[in-house]
Amino acid sequence: MTKQVKQNIAKMDTILSHIGINQDEATGSLISPIHFSTTYQHPEFGKSTGFDYTRTKNPTRTNLEEALAAIEAGQFAIATSSGMAAIVLALEIFPVGSKIVASRDLYGGSFRWFNDQQKRGIFDFTYVVTEADMLAAITPETDIVYIETPTNPLMIEVDIAKVSQKAHENGAKVIVDNTFYTPIYQQPLVLGADIVVHSATKYLAGHNDVLAGAVIVKEQDLYNQLIYNLNTTGPVLSPFDSYLVMRGLKTLALRMRQATVNANQVADFLRQHSAVKEVLYTGLGGMIAFKVHEQDKIPTLINTLKVITFAESLGGVESLITYPTTQTHADIPAEVRASYGLTDDLLRLSIGIEDANDLIDDLANALKV
């Protein structure tokens, strides 16, 4: 683990553990109250408490948004009803016809929406695999650069600072999906990105019990456009779900550290196993992809696992295994997946906080089949 990563975690711990504290002056409640009201009484004609209607603004959601902005080193944050809602909200502030350079390897849901926009002539996407390809693809005609780093599921990393510099030199904005690393291991706004998006369903909430997303920015102008679109289209996060994300955030650093410790041990085991062809892991976070020699044994392998659960999603305290070909990336045509290395012999692991030896024993037993 790098010195910079250790410093980021140290700065983050107190912010995370104190989320919600000192937010309720009326009662001194230690935990942020859940405000279920959809509408708010005006003190008198022409005056407002600052809250009028929950689609526009809600006290519980505001507390969460302040926390999200703080941990991503932003000025403003918006909590949305899902990760995809966050991505759509971020991109829809840009005009029709915008030219976008995007990671080729990316979440299947993102691809599905991107592909629909391309077909309808809303946006024009150019896809790239490597960082070098991305830098080469950025021109004065580029409006947006969309990055997943590391990518889902091939774990390809991109130098955000380098790409942001090239993008800004050409007048483009940079959007980074920071779901995999979270601000514990990466703060894209600090590195030069303009907009950060999250599927908060994953590591930020961390317990597989809430669907949520987030958009974080530094610039007032970007925030104004985002909040206008949010109020107009309404993909807001509910008060109760806002509370759940805040509850999860309090242990984010602890969970990410343990997931990293476990994932490193699991990755080392997989690299040494004769049934495994290739292991894709960056050394940080809980996400691992690996390819097996005998693809036809994948269903049996999955069915044999007892500790690791076969399910979509990622980032929870429980370890999950996913087969992207039939699950998360099924909407991407097979020939497109194969063209950039997402082959049918690949499995994706989201490593949780269980005992690492239990996870390794479970995989060892399944890989024997």
Q: Mean pLDDT across the chain, nearest whole number?
A: 94
Is the pLDDT at 178 greater than 70? The verdict is: yes
d(CA 31, CA 17): 11
Per-residue pLDDT, 12: 84
d(CA 308, CA 224): 43
* pLDDT confidence band for 6 (50 / 70 / 90): very low
Give the residue from 184, 219, 249 where a domain finishes.
Answer: 249
Assess whether 26 and 116 both reside in one domain.
yes
Give the residue from 249, 284, 318 where a domain finishes.
Answer: 249
Residue 194 CA: distances (Å) to CA of 108, 222, 224: 23, 9, 14
Per-residue pLDDT, 3: 42
Assess whether 260 and 162 both reside in one domain.
no
> What average pLDDT does this structure show over 15-22?
89
> What average pLDDT does this structure show over 112-122?
97
> What average pLDDT does this structure show over 246-254?
97
d(CA 280, CA 343): 13
> What average pLDDT does this structure show over 311-320?
97
Q: What is the CATH number of the domain that holds 144?
A: 3.40.640.10
What does the block give as tokens for 279? Answer: 């292991």
Is the pLDDT at 113 greater than 50? The verdict is: yes
Assess whether 163 and 274 both reside in one domain.
no
| Nearest in space to 191 (alpha carbons), one of 66, 19, 8 | 8
| Nearest in space to 321 (alpha carbons), one of 270, 247, 252, 255 | 270
Assess whether 93 and 165 both reside in one domain.
yes
> What average pLDDT does this structure show over 158-182?
98
Per-residue pLDDT, 291: 98
pLDDT digits (tens, 9 = 90+) for 187-229: 999 999 999 999 999 999 999 999 999 999 999 999 999 999 9
Give the residue from 249, 282, 313 where a domain finishes.
Answer: 249
Is the pLDDT at 10 greater than 60? The verdict is: no
Assess whether 52 and 182 both reside in one domain.
yes
127: which strand partners?
A: 102
Q: What is the CATH number of the domain that holds 317?
A: 3.90.1150.10
Element housing 128 (H / E): strand 123-128
> What average pLDDT does this structure show over 218-245?
97
Assess whether 265 and 204 both reside in one domain.
no
Contacts (Cβ under 8 Å, ≥6 apart) of 232: none
Assess whether 162 and 233 both reside in one domain.
yes
* pLDDT confidence band for 298 (50 / 70 / 90): very high
> What average pLDDT does this structure show over 216-245?
97
Assess whether 315 and 331 both reside in one domain.
yes
pLDDT digits (tens, 9 = 90+) for 142-159: 999 999 999 999 999 999
What does the block give as tokens for 74? Answer: 């932003």
Assess whether 263 and 244 both reside in one domain.
no
User: Number of C-alpha atoms within 13 angstroms, CB side, residue 114?
Assistant: 23
Assess whether 198 and 268 both reside in one domain.
no
d(CA 330, CA 310): 16
Can you spell out the DSSP letters for 18-81? Answer: TTTTT--TTT--SSPP----SB---SSTT---S-SBTTT--HHHHHHHHHHHHHTT-SEEEEES
pLDDT digits (tens, 9 = 90+) for 62-94: 999 999 999 999 999 999 999 999 999 999 999
> What average pLDDT does this structure show over 278-303?
97
Q: Which domain holds residue 65?
A: 3-249
d(CA 72, CA 241): 20
- The count of structural domains within the chain is 2
Per-residue pLDDT, 25: 82
Q: Any idea which residues carry the catalytic annotation?
A: 55, 107, 177, 202
Per-residue pLDDT, 2: 43
Is the pLDDT at 136 greater than 50? The verdict is: yes
Assess whether 240 and 262 both reside in one domain.
no
| Nearest in space to 54 (alpha carbons), one of 79, 34, 37, 66 | 37
Assess whether 273 and 236 both reside in one domain.
no
Range of lowest pLDDT (28-37, 81-90, 300-309)? 28-37
Per-residue pLDDT, 20: 86
Percent of the chain with pLDDT over 70: 97
- In this prediction the pTM is 0.94
Token pair 């690299």 is found at: 271
d(CA 103, CA 247): 32
> What average pLDDT does this structure show over 331-360?
94
- Are 182 and 252 in contact by the 8 Å Cβ rule? The answer is yes
d(CA 238, CA 213): 11
